[in-house]
């Protein structure tokens, strides 16, 4: 299962708080063009049907069915720039 760093959880909560229904919102990770090795990331108001929901430190992440297997044993981190956020994945140790 995907885990989140404390930094990623904080960033996701901040981004989700800007959504209309902040309590249900989270970061959605989906396979880009059906390719399970490339991901699209967006803030989503709620999980879509079939999404796996990961909740950690108050942050919610929705994984689509194609992306989810590729994210097993991975850790999501976030790096905040002046005007952007970059999410990175690494293998859990």
Domain ranges across the chain: 3-91
Q: Kindly state the percentage of the chain with pLDDT values over 90.
A: 76
From its phi and psi, is residue 72 left (phi > 0), alpha (psi between -120 and 50) or beta?
A: beta
Q: Which fold has domain 3-91?
A: Hypothetical Protein Aq_1857; Chain: A; (2.60.300)
From its phi and psi, is residue 23 left (phi > 0), alpha (psi between -120 and 50) or beta?
A: alpha
- In what side-by-side order are the strands of the sheet with 85-91? 3-4, 74-80, 85-91
> How sure is the predictor about 21, in pLDDT bands with cuts at 50, 70 and 90?
confident
pTM: predicted TM-score of the whole model, two decimal places: 0.91
pLDDT at 1 over 90: no
Averaged pLDDT, 67-84: 93
């Amino acid at each position: 299962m995907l885990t989140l760093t404390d930094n990623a959880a904080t960033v996701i909560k901040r981004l989700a708080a800007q959504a209309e229904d902040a309590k249900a919102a989270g970061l959605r990770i989906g396979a880009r063009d059906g390719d399970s090795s490339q991901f699209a990331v967006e803030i989503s108001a709620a999980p879509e049907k079939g999404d796996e929901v990961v909740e950690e430190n108050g942050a919610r992440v929705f994984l689509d069915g194609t992306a989810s297997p590729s994210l097993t044993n991975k850790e999501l981190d976030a790096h905040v720039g002046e005007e952007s956020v970059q999410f990175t994945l690494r293998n859990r140790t």
